[in-house]
Structure 1
Amino acid sequence: MLSGGRTKISDLLASTAPGTDVVVKGWVRTKRGNKNVAFIAMNDGSTIHNIQIVADVAAFDEPLLKSITTGSCLKVTGTLVESMGSGQPVEVQAKAIELYGGADPDTYPLQKKGHSMEFLREIAYLRPRTNTFGAVLRIRHAMAYAIHKYFNDRGFYYLHTPLITGSDAEGAGAMFQVTTLDLNDVPRNEAGGVDYTQDFFGKSCNLTVSGQLEGELGALALSQIYTFGPTFRAENSNTPRHLAEFWMIEP
């Protein structure tokens, strides 16, 4: 149980103690039902799976139930019971529902249907709520944790190398330049070149393509080190093997 009495949905779905009173908070994925009962699928991000909230229509105000739409944020107090339907081991029989924030069904873009990746790109602030992006984020977390555990268990030290650098890492590739100069009015020196003395760092700087140089320095002090962080390539090649930003491991 978390602060405020809330229990994560992942813990509820794994619970072996139905009959207990619980408080669950999260976002509505779907709502369906009839004139007697409403079924609300709710998710709080702790798991990719939803928990079903069962609400007796007669026990709640009609305007409240009508305002519960996909994307709404709720607090539900109720009893955890064994599910009568298939698909989930337990469900929550609602005793009280508090609407934290509604979602206009005419404008909320994530509805119960498939959405293309191109469409989700246009609503990047909401796409982590989809199953696809939620799964990707969980997998990335698990992979990053496994990488750190692997090296830690073998006596390596995690070295944080700079993201902004003047090094080209042995000419590893085209680089993204970092500057505070006004590109509409670039200052020039007497030779006609860019006057970097007026730039933030006083010299030409770029986003890193590799932590190799700093990693070598760290290895000569700490022996076994590894770097793990974002690196950048300014190569105009739109393939899965030429990303502008990716995370790289360098032991």
Structure 2
Amino acid sequence: MKSYSVKELLDSKNTLHEVTVKGWIRTFRSNRFIALNDGSTINNIQCVVDFENTDEQVLKKLTTGAAIEVTGEHIESQGKGQNFEIQAKKIVVLGESNPETYPIQPKKHSLEFLREKAHLRVRTNTFSAIMRVRSALSFAVHQYFQQNGFNYVNTPIITGSDAEGAGEMFRVTALDAKNPPKTEDGEINYKEDFFGKETNLTVSGQLEAETYAMALGKVYTFGPTFRAENSNTSRHLAEFWMIEPEVAFLDLDGDMDLAEDFIKSVLKYVLDNCKDDLDFLEKRLIEEDKTKPQNERSEMTLTEKLHFVVDNNFKRVSYTEAIEILRNCKPNKKKKFNYIIDEWGADLQSEHERYLVEKHFNCPVILFDYPAKIKAFYMRLNDDGKTVRAMDILFPGIGEIVGGSQREERLEVLQQKINELGIDEKELWWYLDLRRFGTAVHSGFGLGFERLVLFATGMTNIRDVIPFPRTPQSAEF
């Protein structure tokens, strides 16, 4: 007999007569009603137990968390809340659960508690919904690029270059930690290491993606990246996933067009395909908001926030114009910002970015042409000599969600920027070769996938939108 998923049984147009379904017990009440879930949907299917004809030993094992197989009649539900239920004829306990030690009981648990149970937290409604939305977003990312002529490229996880120039990288080594080989100067001799040089876990696949864009035209990476930043904030992870398209013959205007179209597309996919999960997450946020002071409550519901992005044109504003707006705004003049904007060249914080989106323009914003001093070396220098062809996309509730640029395609200019920053040209000889052999205008952007999931689910801590968060002093599971 075919085994159905809970989603198939609940979404069916008609009764299916005798069926088999497998899942985990969420609740078992009155020794009669089982709420069964298999992860295919946020919703449970009710299985009505024939108490008189079910073995007493089986009944004792029907506890929260147990895995069971139910065979019975798929009929129209007599109760409210669902169209169908199962009149159970046979129940097989596949895996028992101890009700005294099983931590995910049918009650409200704090997010902090659930992070300590990351291997089991996905059995809750909140985390199953988050992870289904994450899965849908991941599919939508690949679908968008594949349908628009992009080639998927797997860039190295182990690298000898620091794409961001931040220096906050995890070292990869096979040397003896207690007794590493030394040079005559007493320094660690990385020539004797596995790769013959100092290597790290990547912070970005961008530089390598550029090499493939300059041959395949349109490429994207979507993979894990790492940052050894000792930060315990709600917005930082040590291991996270990055989406990074790179396109040959594309300037900054085209890059902004691509990023806006991409984000709208993947968020629309979630709106169209994750209705039940979004409804649950939205209700959860509404209830959470009721416990907050009035001034801290959300101004938009979750779906309103998603439509705010999908249905609006993104406002394009130069950094210089944005600085003038911020310098003259009331929060800045009344010193209500934590970081006061005094002069051109300031690195904008999320409070400034959110003001532009939520208060001044009331739509998503793309800032462009940033000061060269606060941006990476590979961004194309403008004719004014002080700004670069960079862009950031700003969202409500988050601030920056995308960072991109037109890349510096001129060999002499790139060499000068590298030398000014003290970067050894020999380390980037292959990157400079792209400017020596058939150089051309090209652009791309980076989007932290967890930031996108955070926005799409309405969660407030990035540790709650990745299966097993890696943070300072925490590498459990």
Counterpart CA distance in 1 for 2:238 and 2:178 is 25
> In the alignment, is the contact (CA less than 8 A) between 1:233 and 1:242 conserved in 2?
no
1:14 to 11, 14, 33: 11
Counterpart CA distance in 2 for 1:132 and 1:225 is 34
2:208 to 190, 209, 214: 214
Q: Deviations over 1:99-132 (max 9, x none)?
A: 1111011111111111122222222221121112
How many Å apart are 1:170 and its aligned residue? 4.7
Counterpart CA distance in 1 for 2:164 and 2:51 is 68
One-letter amino acid matched to 1:20: H
Q: Deviations over 1:121-146 (max 9, x none)?
A: 22222112111211111111111111
One-letter amino acid matched to 2:175: L
Give ranges in structure 1 of 5+ residues lacking alignment: none
Counterpart CA distance in 1 for 2:64 and 2:23 is 11
Select between 104-113 and 114-123 the one with higher mean Cα deviation: 114-123
How many Å apart are 1:187 and its aligned residue? 2.6
One-letter amino acid matched to 1:76: V
> In the alignment, is the contact (CA less than 8 A) between 1:172 and 1:209 conserved in 2?
no
How many Å apart are 1:172 and its aligned residue? 4.2
One-letter amino acid matched to 1:169: A
Query: Is 2:130 the partner of 1:129?
Result: no
1:197 to 191, 195, 199: 191
The structure whose residues are more often strand, as a share, is 1
**1:83 corresponding residue in structure 2:** 77
> In the alignment, is the contact (CA less than 8 A) between 2:20 and 2:69 conserved in 1?
yes
Query: Is 2:64 the partner of 1:67?
Result: no
Tell me the SS of whatever aligns to 1:221.
Answer: helix
Query: Is 2:23 the partner of 1:26?
Result: yes
**TM-score, length-scaled by structure 2:** 0.50
Aligned positions of 1:220-239 closer than 5 A: 220-239=214-233
Counterpart CA distance in 2 for 1:105 and 1:247 is 36
> In the alignment, is the contact (CA less than 8 A) between 2:49 and 2:88 conserved in 1?
yes
Counterpart CA distance in 1 for 2:66 and 2:160 is 48
Counterpart CA distance in 2 for 1:114 and 1:180 is 45
> In the alignment, is the contact (CA less than 8 A) between 1:164 and 1:205 conserved in 2?
yes
One-letter amino acid matched to 1:139: V
Select between 114-123 and 161-170 the one with higher mean Cα deviation: 114-123
One-letter amino acid matched to 1:23: T
The structure whose residues are more often helix, as a share, is 2
Q: Which runs of 4+ in 1 moved over 4 A?
A: none
Tell me the SS of whatever aligns to 1:239.
Answer: coil
**2:181 corresponding residue in structure 1:** 187
Q: Deviations over 1:68-124 (max 9, x none)?
A: 100111111100011111111110000011111110111111111111222222222
How many Å apart are 1:173 and its aligned residue? 4.5
**TM-score, length-scaled by structure 1:** 0.92
How many Å apart are 1:47 and its aligned residue? 1.1
**2:90 corresponding residue in structure 1:** 96
Counterpart CA distance in 1 for 2:117 and 2:233 is 23
**1:107 corresponding residue in structure 2:** 101
The sequence identity of aligned pairs, in percent, is 59
2:168 to 170, 174, 188: 174
> In the alignment, is the contact (CA less than 8 A) between 2:76 and 2:85 conserved in 1?
yes
One-letter amino acid matched to 1:125: H
Counterpart CA distance in 2 for 1:106 and 1:133 is 22
Counterpart CA distance in 1 for 2:141 and 2:215 is 22
